[in-house]
Amino acid sequence: MVEATWNDEAKTPEIDWKASAALQNVPRGSEDLTEVTSLEGAVRAWLVLDAKHRANALLTPDKPILFDGASMEHFSGEGIAALAEHLPDSQ
């Protein structure tokens, strides 16, 4: 008999932080535009936004991410904050 082991890695496997992602509804000069960068860069950019823009921002990775056991195509608000908790240490 084989025993299954469930852990956080099964729910959220290693995240490819270098994958492309778009961060929408972020301020760029006098307009709110989309920023396309790495997933890590997009999450870090979200962290420095003011509360209004954090609430309105939409993060779309180039491919869905398995996060907390669900395949996610878009992240917003608390979803981006939860992703931020998994950011690698900055170099």
DSSP assignment string, 30-80: TEEEEEEEEHHHHHHHHHTS-HHHHHH-EEEESS-EEETTEEES-EEHHHH
> Considering the domain boundaries, does residue 7 fall inside one?
no
Q: How many CB atoms lie within 10 A of CB 21?
A: 24
In a domain, 5, yes or no: no
Tell whether pTM > 0.75: yes
Q: Closest Cα to residue 61, out of 8, 28, 17, 25?
A: 17
Checking if the pLDDT of 59 tops 70, the result is yes
Q: Who wins on pLDDT, 29 or 16? A: 16
* Domain count for the chain: 1
Task: Evaluate whether residue 1 is within a structural domain.
Answer: no
For 38-47, write each residue's pLDDT tens digit. 999 999 999 9
In a domain, 53, yes or no: yes
Alpha-carbon torsion (53, 55, 59, 65), positive or negative: positive
Residue 35 has pLDDT above 50, yes or no: yes
Domain that holds residue 62: 19-84
- 64: in domain: yes
**pLDDT at site 6:** 44
